[in-house]
Structure formats: C-alpha cells, structure tokens
Structure 1
Amino acid sequence: MKPLALAAIAPELAAWLDENAEAIDAGQDLAAQIVPQLGRADLFRVGVPAQDGGLDGTTVDAIEAIASVANHSLTAAFVFWGQRTFIEYLLQSPNEGLRSRWLPALLHGEFAGATGLSNAMKYLSNIESLQMSATRLEDADIPTRWTLNGSLPWITNLRREGFLAAAAFDHSDGAPPSIFAIPHNATGVVRSDDLDLIALRSSNTAALRVEDTVLDASWQITPDAPAFLVRVRPAFLGLQCGMSIGLARRALDAVSDSGAAARAAVDDETAQLTHELNGLSKRLFDGVQQGTFLHSPALLFEVRIGLASVVDAALRLEVQASGGRGYLRGQSGAARRVREAAFVPIVTPSIVQLKNQLAQHRKTNAA
C-alpha cells in the first residue's frame, strides 16, 4: 500500500527544491530565496478564503501543501509552516486593519511572517510562563500604546529583508495577555545572528529581543491571547504535522525505489509504517476538518507524537535500504533527511513536552 497521494506543487518549484535541498539545509546562501519561491508558486494562498486573496480550500489543503514541500526539503517546509501559520493568525484576528495591510504581501511571499508563539503555546499548556511583557502608556491625547520588552530565543523565518513576528505579552496592569505583530524595523527590535543549527540552516532562525519598543493597538493581533491560542492551536500543530507527513512519505518512497533485495528485506515493515502513516494522516485531517481538536487537544498531541515515531522509523528503513550508497555524498538525500528528521521531535511543542501533557491529562481524567 502506498502512502496517501501528495498534493501537487509546481514542477519549477519542485525542481528548484530538489536542486538546492542540500544547500539550504547545510548553508545560508539561499535563505532569502525560499519565501519568494514559495510565494511565486502560490502556496501561501492554499486554504485561504478567496475573499482574503487566497485560493479557497481548507487548512487540510494547506497541511498537504506543506507535506508536498517537505517531500523535497524540510527546511523549505519549516519556513512554509512559519509563514502560513502567521497568515492563519491574521485570518483569525479581529484586527481587520492589520489583516488588510499585511495579508497581500504575506500571501505573495513579498514579506515574511514569523510565528513566535511557541512560548505562548507552552504557556497555554502550563509548561512555561510568558517571556514578554507589555506596559500600557497613559496618555489621553493619543491612541492606546504599550511599551514592549522581552526576548524569545528561537523564531523561524526572521528574514533579514523584512519580517513581522507574532509574540504574546503579559500585561503589567493585570489585563489578559495579548499578541502583537512586531515589525522588524520598529525601534528597539533586535534580531540576533542566525542560530548555529546542525541542519535547516537556511530557515532564518534567530533570537528576537524587544527593548522599550512602543506599539499601538493597530499592531495587536488579539487582546485576548488565551482564547485566541485555543482557536489557532489546531492549525498551529496541524500545519506543523505536515512537515512530518511529507518527510515520512519521502523516506518510504525511497525504500520503494531501492533494489529488489533491499525492498524484500524490509517489505513487511514498510507496509506497516505506510499503514500507520495513512491512518495518522487521516486522523489529523478529520480532526482539523471537523473541529475535534478544538475541545480535545490531547487527540492532536497523540497524532503529533505518532507521526514523529513514524518519521523516525521510516528514516531508519531508508538508511537500511539505501546501504552504502546512502553514505556517499551526492548519491542520495538519505543523510540530509536523517539530519532533518532529528528536528521533528524537538520542534515546539517537543515530543517530551507533549508526552508530559498527555500524562497529566490522563492523571486528571483518572482522578
């Protein structure tokens, strides 16, 4: 049984990704090109309502699009996830002005959107406190403004050419935490050098710090972060799962394309993993489509954990099936995919964090 079919991406983009997958994983020379390449292929518009400038469809279509990119390059899929998730924030934001100002450039890959809400998602699950703070400025003569301070150690898609980064802030006056879109050129916004990652090095991943940055309500994605995070979490994690689905499919395809003797040796394992991958993908798509994960996030956590296990097992099978050829530079993408797969368990929320959440959930239910 073959994995579920991949959504089609433009042949030109597929060729560019295949040609440059090693370079964008191991280096940073092409980092500036990924967002424009994906934008020209209209991938950021997948699953976005036509009235907002998109191609219609659903979040499931966007997950499949990310999976299709991950089939060629996990680095590009990681960037895609960051951009498309930020777009999702604007789609679900009550701030119509912010959406109308920035959505067109984001949808066409002319500007970068970075989801800095990993800290906030962990805050939602009581894993850690918010690392950013907002203090309201009192001045009756001007619109409401806040002074923002804090830092986030890891955000993807902070393109040096320009970005908006979403971040959640605790309010000193006791108001609910809120989420702001932080423009790269605002006073006090500091982007670090790229983090020295072992892979995915063209993902424009860096730390972000804000020091006495003043923004008004026109930059506020939502004034109520907890309620907003609950609404966007299925898309946040669902889109993220697209990376695992695409990488696992590619590894299993590589096993199928190996020599007859190698295929026969791992045939039963390949069939079992393919069955698991298809089943987990269907659970993900059904849950996102039907809204199940809104009220039962534990079910989504289980899918994410399951997909990470399938990725790990699929890559081990690919290494076995490719043999010595996979250990030679330029002979296959097996070595790159192994490096990419090492990232799947640690992308926030990590598998360890999700397992802890599930353990607490079961303990609460048992009580």
Structure 2
Amino acid sequence: MQTVHQEEVLSSLLQEELKPLVRAVDEKAYYPESFLLSLGRHGLLSSKGKTIAEAAQSEAEVVRAVSSVCMTTGFNLWCHLAALTYVRHTDNEALRERFLEPLENGELLGATGLSNPMKFYADLEKLHLRAERVKGGYVLNGALPAVSNLGEGHWFGAIAHAENTRVMAFISCDAKGLSLKEKVSYLGLNGSATYACKFEHVFIPDEQILAEDADTFVPKMRPYFVTYQVPLGVGVTEAAVASMKKCSSKQNGANAVLPVQPEHIQERLDHVKQSFRDQLEQGVTWKGILEVRRSTVYLTLDAVQAAMMHAGGSAYLQTSADGRRLREAYFFLNLTPTARHLERMLAN
C-alpha cells in the first residue's frame, strides 16, 4: 500500500500537473507524457523492496486516483504498467536489468501490444504478427491495428507466430521497419497516443525477447495485466458518485425520485473494491480477477449513466465532465478483455 508521503505526492501531482491538462487531453487529443513520466520520477511506480503483488497494490491506487481525474491518462498509465508487468515477469534477466529501473523511475515509457494476442488466446482472433528466426534474433512482419501510449523512445510488448511456437518481444517504437500511423477518430480517449503499427522486416535481437515460449509466459503474467485495469473503472465510478451527490439539490431535489441513487452505486462500488482487495491480498487468480473486472465494467456503465441523469442538461455540453466520463466508460467496455471477451472466458 502507499505511504502517507506517497499519497501526498500523488495528490499534489494530480492537482498541479494533471487537472490543468484534462480538457486538452479530452478535446484536443493532447498526450500527457510529462505527467506520466512525473509519476515515475516521484517514486510512485517503484517496485524496489516489494514483491510483484505488493507493487500491484500500490500502483493500483495510483491508477484509481489518476482515473478519477482523467481516465484517458489512467489508461495510458495502465499501458505503461502492462509493459512493466512483462518486464517484471520475464526470465530474460538481461532484459529486466536493462529496462526495469528506467520504466519505473520515469526515464522510459512502455506500452502493451497484446490486444490481439489476448483475443487469440481466447480463440477470438488470429494472431496478426509473424516471426522468422534468424541469426541473433527474429524478424517480425504484420500489423497491429491499435497500440496506445506510443511515441518516440517508447517500448511495447508484442507476440508473434514463429515456426512451431509463439514468441513475445519488447519493441522500440524507433525500430527500423516499424511504421506508426496515429489514430484520433475515436469517440473519446484520443489523447492516448494510439497508433496503427505496421511491421516490415523488423529485426528484434535476442536480448529484446521477453519469452521464447509466449504460450507459457502469458498465463503467468496476464492476471496482473487485467489487475491494473480494475482501478480504471473504480476511479471513474468514484467521480460519477461524487458528481451525483453534488447535484442532489438541483430543481428542488427532484433527483431524489430517480431510480438510481448515489448510495446504490456506492454500495456496489464498495463490494467491487472489497473483492479487488481480496484478490490483491490473497493472491491474484485468473478467474477471480476476471470476475472482478466484469463486475467493474457493468458498475462503471451504470454509474456514468446515472450521473448523466442526475446532472441533467449540463451533462450534454461538450465540456461536461459527466459526458467525458460517459465516453470513457464506453471505452472501458471495449478495452481488452472487452465485456463480451470477459463473458466468453468466464462461461468456459
């Protein structure tokens, strides 16, 4: 868990560095790179002296707090923490030695290119990338339709079909043969630095291979991949509850007759938060964290829609925080694993 000092540092960063950027992030597709780096520079992402589980508890609180202010930025942070998850779990000690500290201390930003592979492992899609073994590494070809939190000097994980297996690589955005095309036509989250990635004979040396056997590596790290997503929805839900409470006196208290009240959402939120704490404290399991993630998706949707009703006409202004959170929640619904992806996995 975070110390009092860390909580104070985070609160200060949110107030001074993130809140002034939220409108630009949402309306002008501004990428909050400097804020993301600040989190590391202030020690909020350090795993020094912590187990992977202990680091996750502390970092989940950072994601929650950031997402309560701006879920686009929270999502970018999740992308970075996904990259950290890969590096923390790899058996490639040289890679971990090279990247772990820079990713934790604000020198480098990372991302995840695993939307397609996660769907591949759930039997929903074919794998988009191909890898050919060559001397000293692999050559990758193919395309990923959308990878977020990318930019000059950034690194991201990706999985490709090799001859008889699948390999997972850690890739520089500056790699020769990799072309990036920015995507900013989304309903929301346009400040997330999302790009389509085309691989044309991209050489990845062995020292950048996270796993020679991705099929074995993915089950080991994916519970934490999903763990860091839960606080995205929790943060948005907390902000929606706070918004509803602020609107309680509107039009002579007419909101009191609406079918969904802030206390209804709060009760469900408390249950989700307790279930999440249980996972973190007792050991994250794949099925357990998927169930928490699914509950969080539907809770977040109900929370932001209720907040729209409680706010009334002001929620329909383009600058409305309630409207922004509505769009953020619909993105959360479609963040891998999506709602239907979750339902499919939990049904099996």
User: Aligned partners of 2:42, 2:247: CA distance in 1, in Å?
Assistant: 31
Contact 1:44 1:80 in 2 (8 A): no
Contact 2:224 2:284 in 1 (8 A): no
- For residue 149 of structure 2, the aligned residue among 154, 157, 170 is 157
Match of 2:49 in 1: 50
- Deviation readout 1:113-170 (Å, 9 max, x if unpaired): 1111122222222222221111112x5xxxx3211112111111112x3211100111
Q: Does structure 1 residue 166 correspond to structure 2 residue 157? A: yes
Alignment of 1:2-21 (within 5 A): 9-21=10-22
Distance apart, 1:109 and its partner CA: 2.5
User: Aligned partners of 2:142, 2:247: CA distance in 1, in Å?
Assistant: 50
- Gap change, CA 1:148 and 1:30, over 3 Å in 2: closer
Q: How big is the alpha-carbon RMSD for the aligned residues of Structure 1 and Structure 2? A: 2.4
Distance apart, 1:36 and its partner CA: 2.3
Contact 1:34 1:79 in 2 (8 A): no
Contact 2:18 2:35 in 1 (8 A): no
Alignment of 1:282-321 (within 5 A): 282-293=274-285, 297-321=286-310
Match of 2:337 in 1: 349
Distance apart, 1:188 and its partner CA: 0.8
- For residue 137 of structure 2, the aligned residue among 132, 140, 145 is 145
For residue 286 of structure 1, what is the amino acid of its counterpart?
A: D
For residue 49 of structure 2, what is the amino acid of its counterpart?
A: A
User: Aligned partners of 1:282, 1:208: CA distance in 2, in Å?
Assistant: 38
- The secondary structure found in structure 2 opposite 1:158 is coil
Contact 2:95 2:207 in 1 (8 A): yes
Distance apart, 1:37 and its partner CA: 3.5
User: Aligned partners of 1:129, 1:169: CA distance in 2, in Å?
Assistant: 11
Distance apart, 1:75 and its partner CA: 0.8
User: Aligned partners of 1:254, 1:41: CA distance in 2, in Å?
Assistant: 30
**Length-normalised TM-score, structure 1:** 0.85
- Gap change, CA 1:21 and 1:178, over 3 Å in 2: same
Contact 1:195 1:207 in 2 (8 A): no
Aligned residue-pair number: 339
User: Aligned partners of 2:254, 2:60: CA distance in 1, in Å?
Assistant: 31
- Gap change, CA 1:13 and 1:353, over 3 Å in 2: same
Percent identity for Structure 1 against Structure 2:
26
Distance apart, 1:263 and its partner CA: 5.7
- Gap change, CA 1:216 and 1:328, over 3 Å in 2: closer
User: Aligned partners of 1:106, 1:324: CA distance in 2, in Å?
Assistant: 43
Q: Does structure 1 residue 239 correspond to structure 2 residue 228? A: yes
User: Aligned partners of 2:24, 2:241: CA distance in 1, in Å?
Assistant: 23
- Structure 1 residue runs of 5 or longer lacking an equivalent are 1-6, 362-367
Contact 1:26 1:198 in 2 (8 A): no
Match of 2:170 in 1: 181
For residue 169 of structure 2, what is the amino acid of its counterpart?
A: F
Alignment of 1:1-367 (within 5 A): 9-45=10-46, 48-50=47-49, 57-137=54-134, 139=135, 144-159=136-151, 161-172=152-163, 174=164, 176-260=165-249, 261=253, 264-266=256-258, 269-293=261-285, 297-328=286-317, 330=319, 332-359=320-347, 361=348
**Length-normalised TM-score, structure 2:** 0.90
- Gap change, CA 1:312 and 1:217, over 3 Å in 2: same
Match of 1:364 in 2: none
- Stretch deviating more after TM superposition (311-320 or 32-41): 32-41
For residue 309 of structure 2, what is the amino acid of its counterpart?
A: Q
For residue 269 of structure 2, what is the amino acid of its counterpart?
A: L
- The secondary structure found in structure 2 opposite 1:10 is helix
User: Aligned partners of 2:150, 2:173: CA distance in 1, in Å?
Assistant: 8
Distance apart, 1:41 and its partner CA: 4.0
For residue 45 of structure 2, what is the amino acid of its counterpart?
A: F
User: Aligned partners of 1:195, 1:115: CA distance in 2, in Å?
Assistant: 18
- Gap change, CA 1:49 and 1:127, over 3 Å in 2: farther
Distance apart, 1:58 and its partner CA: 3.2
